[in-house]
Amino acid sequence: MMARPLYRLRLFCVSLLIAFLGALSPAHAKRTSKDSGSSTVVIDAGHGGHDRGGIPGQRIAEKDVALDVAQRLKRVLAASGYRVVMTRDSDVFIPLGTRVAIANSYSNAVFVSIHFNSAKRSGAGGIETYFYSRDSLPLASAVHYFVAGGAPSSNRNVRRRGYFVLRRTNIPAVLVECGFLTNPTEAAYAQTASYRQKLAEEIAAGLRGRNYVGGALTTTRVATGESIPLQPYIDQTKVAKSERHRSKRSHKKSARRKKKSSKPAGSEAKASSKDQEG
């Protein structure tokens, strides 16, 4: 008696899978040796504990919605066989250095940091995905393709910026800004469980699809790493003071590099601070 509905369900699942893979792999997208690659995902829910995220006076705490999406993503990925590591799984403050150390202890993994944006201007909205190293671009492109494609928000594109967790991680690493909590429409979406579930599923689709669509996306949708200019590093809320200090002392090389790359940041920071995210 159970066999028939079960069979139908299985058939339905298989046809869904075929439809999904069909949508994912255009004729020219070919499997590469990377397909057998990392099945560990380090999920990083932004902020936590005393660090609410966002801007002062923001009604919805970024740390809460980011954690919820992260936990949903964990369940989605675990259900499809991924090993999942959370940098935080509750409302606690984890220093950025610790988050990076956790990520770097898995050599064959990818890192996804989940954030929501904020701006003084309530009209600011949209989805943006950040990467830093060239190796992270296919992952960023794929994640962004799915998240921005599935969101009602506008597309703020894939961007390159030296966020601490992107700069210091040795594995492919991306940071997704899943919409503006200061935008009434996007905040309303972010506050519904069904939308946060959708975000988690889109991020998971990007992680699964990165080896299929990454190559095609990097050349067609978001161009090459070189053509994406490095954004000024303006979000100092993501770097604790003590960490900035420590990194200066113990990593002179990268500090020098940072100094160099932050040169234009001073002048551009003011201009772009209106849509500053946290």
Residue numbers of the site for Zn ion (CB under 5 A)?
46, 53, 115, 278
Rounded to whole angstroms, the Cα distance separating 10 from 215 reads: 32
The number of residues making up the chain comes to 278
List helix spans (H) across the chain.
3-24, 62-79, 96-104, 137-150, 164-167, 184-190, 193-220, 241-250, 252-261, 265-272
Residue 272 Cβ, how far from Zn ion at the closest point, in Å?
A: 16
Nearer to Zn ion, 61 or 213 (CB): 61
Nearer to Zn ion, 42 or 213 (CB): 42
- Name beta bridge partners: 131: 160, 174
Nearer to Zn ion, 46 or 179 (CB): 46
Residue 266 Cβ, how far from Zn ion at the closest point, in Å?
A: 22
Residue 119 Cβ, how far from Zn ion at the closest point, in Å?
A: 12
Residue 88 Cβ, how far from Zn ion at the closest point, in Å?
A: 13
What b-and-e string marks burial along 198-220, b requiring 16 or more CB atoms within 10 Å of the CB? bbbbbbbbbbbbbbbbbbbbbee
Rounded to whole angstroms, the Cα distance separating 252 from 256 reads: 6
Nearer to Zn ion, 53 or 126 (CB): 53
Residue 166 near residue 133, CB atoms below 8 Å: yes
Residue 164 Cβ, how far from Zn ion at the closest point, in Å?
A: 12
- Which residue is listed with tokens 């299929």? 212
Point out the residue whose Cβ comes nearest to Zn ion.
Answer: 115
Rounded to whole angstroms, the Cα distance separating 134 from 2 reads: 51
Nearer to Zn ion, 70 or 109 (CB): 70
Residue 5 Cβ, how far from Zn ion at the closest point, in Å?
A: 44
Nearer to Zn ion, 115 or 156 (CB): 115
